[in-house]
Structure 1
Amino acid sequence: MQRVDFAGKAALVTGGSRGLGLLIAEELARRGCRVAVCARDGSELAFAERRLARLTDRRAALECDLTQPGAGRAVAAEAAERLGRPLDLLVNNAGVIQVGPLAALEQDDFRRSWDTMVAAPVELVLAVLPGMRERGGGSVVNIASIGGPVPAPHLLPYVTAKAGLAAFSRGLRVELAGSGVRVTTVVPGLMRTGSHRAARFSGQAPREYAWFGAAASTPLLSTDAGRAARRIVRAAEAGRAELVLTPAAKLAVRLQGVAPATFGALLGAAGRLLPGPGRVAEHDLSGQAAAGRTGRLVPVLTALGDRAGRNANEPGS
């Protein structure tokens, strides 16, 4: 497949005010791409726009809540107008992470994850696809997760939505075969973006924060987010069907494929080692609130992730 040069093209990156989304947007800007980012938090968007201003004059920071009906179509149209040309690249990156045992979760947790990570990408794709097909080209990148093919414990709303996004993305590539529109499914493992500070925690929130933050900050389990962003952009340029990031994620995908029952039993055993809901389960605490109630060791274990979060505009990092 012929490599695409994104110089002069227009891209929209959802969830682009911080974390991996911001790093992808910056990587695209370095390649001469016109970049729009969208997110819900206006102050985070202002910071992201200042960062992008160092790299490009053709940029836009758009405040929106993609879970609202019609928001996807509206922001896609506004991005194209602000960038001065139709969108050539859509990166569906926006996400929410909710950590906790099933007993501490509510139906709204699943609905919020689904609306953010499945319904919103579908609406955005349907908004930009007619123009891409008419022009005979375009790229869609869907940031799924190792939590799609691998049922990670204490992340069930996230796992459910990311599995749905991965299925949509793979099916979309099949449906668009021969149209000139390329679809790339990205399956990252843990990345050091400071995402533990932006996640939401239920059950015994401080203990949930401790294990998740440590795992997301440990080099052997997680990867540098800047390196991940560069690999994602290169995969989009090449039109790759799928990109699995981190050796641990690749191993987990293979184990799930060849021995699902055995691997599922191992994951179940790991889940039983994680905190229970507690006698009075808390619900939906912010990472910043949970972090403030942990012991002295936890900031040491999350130090690399916190540092990455400061670079990627994660809250409280």
Structure 2
Amino acid sequence: MKGRVALVTGGSRGLGLLIARELAGLGARVTICARDEEELARAAALIRRDTGRPVSWEQCDLGDAQAIDALVAEVTKRHGPVEILVNNAGIITVGPVESLDVDAFRRAIETMFMAPMRLTLGVLPGMRELGDGRVINVTSIGGRIPAPHLLPYDCAKFAATGFSEGLRAELAGSGVSVTTAVPGLMRTGSHRAARFTGRRSREYAWFAAAASLPLVSMDAERAARLIVRAGIRRRPELVLTAVAKVAVRAHGLAPATTTRALSLAARLLPSAGSPAKSGEASGASEHAKGTPWTDRVAVPGERAARRWNEPGAS
């Protein structure tokens, strides 16, 4: 990876920051992008502190097609054609379908499907000309099995997974490989960046707990190492966490049974609440001080949030 030009979206915090750190540690010339300039500057400083290598950063709203074109042009001008693209940026809205509006789906599709598609098409000509390149698409178990109360996220990740797998088939023999990373829950502190609808405090409680429990979630540093390794080795797919592997296999063998299990899980989650609150979403900071039980269970996730630059962590 030494000297290779890498671009990591959503690289200012969480898993994206850790993937960028892995690539920088291997000698790649890394550029990270995200929407928040202050987060980007902090992330670049963290990576330089840990690896001793400088990291470039570009502020970019991936929902803007022109901004994506400008991002590819700037990275190419500064470093040369992108040789490693990691599509990692994502947004999470948590809540029952009754509390969601069309805009929640639009934002999810724009960020987690349209943006990776546009970026990939933007860097592909350079990769084809070089006869070499790696595209790593960070999708989710939610792109294989529709997790309850995450429907906009699920829809976008299903689309991203289909794009990633289809793209690998189309690029066979071109020298450009595509790796589909399918992680389950990871301890990145991502619950801090999520948006919540419906009975928002209750939604925050279950999501923060699930994203923090060691037996359910995975250490994010290990996940980043495995994802980068899979991309380097041009693996077609990587499914992360034991729970995710079991779920993917179960769904493949018995989809109807899996769907019934997901239906049961959905019934155990909070109901939508007042119809007047439908479509309203708020950030985790408004709900982060829940019950003492929630606070105790979420300790590993909170620790990860402080380490990996998640918003609102203290």
TM-score category by the smaller chain? over 0.9
Counterpart residue identity of residue 285, structure 1: S
Measure how far apart 1:71 and its partner are: 1.8
Q: CA deviation at 1:210?
A: 0.3
AA matched with 1:79: V
**Partner of 1:290 in structure 2?**
287
Structure 1 residue aligned with 2:312, among 298, 305, 316? 316
Note if contact 1:34-1:56 (Cα within 8 Å) is conserved in structure 2. no
Q: Secondary structure at the match of 1:44?
A: helix
Change (3 A) 1:147 1:130: same
Tell me the equivalent position of 2:91: 96
Q: Which runs of 5 or more structure 1 residues have no equivalent in the other structure? A: 1-5
Equivalent residue in structure 2 for 1:65, among 61, 64, 71: 61
**CA contact under 8 A between 2:96 and 2:197: conserved in structure 1?**
yes
Identity of aligned residues (%): 55
Secondary structure in 1 matching 2:182: strand
Is the contact between residue 100 and residue 197 of structure 2 (CA under 8 Å) also seen in structure 1? yes
Deviations 1:60-104 (A, max 9, x none): 11101010122222112212223x221110000000011000000
Deviations 1:107-139 (A, max 9, x none): 000000000000000110111001100110000
Question: For the Cα contact (< 8 Å) 2:25–2:53, is it kept in 1?
Answer: no
Correspondence for 1:118 among 113, 116, 121: 113
String of CA shifts for 1:5-25, please: whole Å, max 9, x gaps: x11101000000000000000
1:14 matched to 2:9? The reply is: yes
Q: Deviations over 1:126-167 (max 9, x none)?
A: 110011001100000000000011111000000000000000
Greater mean deviation of Cα atoms: 63-72 or 242-251: 63-72
Where does 1:163-312 land on structure 2 (aligned, <5 Å)? Answer: 163-279=158-274, 280-281=276-277, 283-292=280-289, 294-312=290-308
TM-score norm. by structure 2 comes to 0.97
How far is 1:316 from its partner?
A: 1.5
Distance 1:90 1:56, change over 3 A: farther
Residue of structure 2 equivalent to 1:74 = 70
Cα distance in 2, alignment partners of residues 284 and 62 from structure 1: 28
Q: Deviation per CA, 1:272-312: give whole Å up to 9, x if none.
A: 110011124362110111214x2222111100011011111
Structure 2 unmatched ranges of 5 or more: none
> Structure 1 residue 53: deviation in Å?
2.5
* TM-score normalised by structure 1 residue count: 0.96
Q: Is 1:157–2:176 an aligned residue pair?
A: no
Q: Distance in 2 between matches of 1:29 and 1:221?
A: 29
